[in-house]
Structure formats: C-alpha cells, structure tokens
Amino acid sequence: MGAGPAAISLVIKTNSQSQSGSFRIMYVCICNALRRSQIEAAARRGATTVEAAYAACDSQVQCGQCREDAVAVIAATHADAATTFRQAAE
C-alpha cells in the first residue's frame, strides 16, 4: 500500500527509451489514463495550457502529479510545430 499513482507513473514513464537515450513518456496522466499522443494531439489543435489540453481530452487534472510532464509535452509539441513551419517557409 502507499505506492499510489506516482510510483505507477514512474514505472510507465520509463517503459520505453528513445534513440537519443532520453525516456519518452507513454502515459502522462495515470488518473485520467492520458497518453502522450493525446496531449500532443490536443496541443496541435491549439491547446497551450494543461487545463486546455485535458479539456480537449474530456478530462481535467486530478492529483497534479502529471502537470510538469504535460507542460513539457505541450511545449515540445509547439516547438516542433514552429520548427516545421519555419522549415516550410524557407
């Protein structure tokens, strides 16, 4: 007992490793069972905050353990989109 969502989250987050050696997150939010791909899709559709991304997934932040990871996924998605846009404009 006492393992809670944070312990489960750690195991799932480190489940797959990208080629660069950094760990990719499969599940961002254990409470809502939200995957990285869902948060990325919400960000591509215009979500710029955790609350907006979760709302786009018909969810809302529960315990808050996921907030930092969700912010990172949203920021990375917007950064990737900006890079793609710049490259297309060149």
- pLDDT of 24 reads 59
- 5-24 residue pLDDT tens: 443 444 344 444 444 445 55
In contact, 6 and 15? CB cutoff 8 Å: no
CB-facing half-sphere around the CA of 64: CA atoms within 13 A: 0
In contact, 36 and 44? CB cutoff 8 Å: no
- Residue whose token pair is 């950094």: 22
End-to-end CA gap in the chain: 56
Distance CA 54, CA 11 (A): 22
Cα–Cα distance list, 48 to 8, 16, 26, 28, 79 (Å):
27, 26, 20, 16, 12
- 29-69 residue pLDDT tens: 999 999 999 999 999 999 999 999 999 999 999 999 999 99
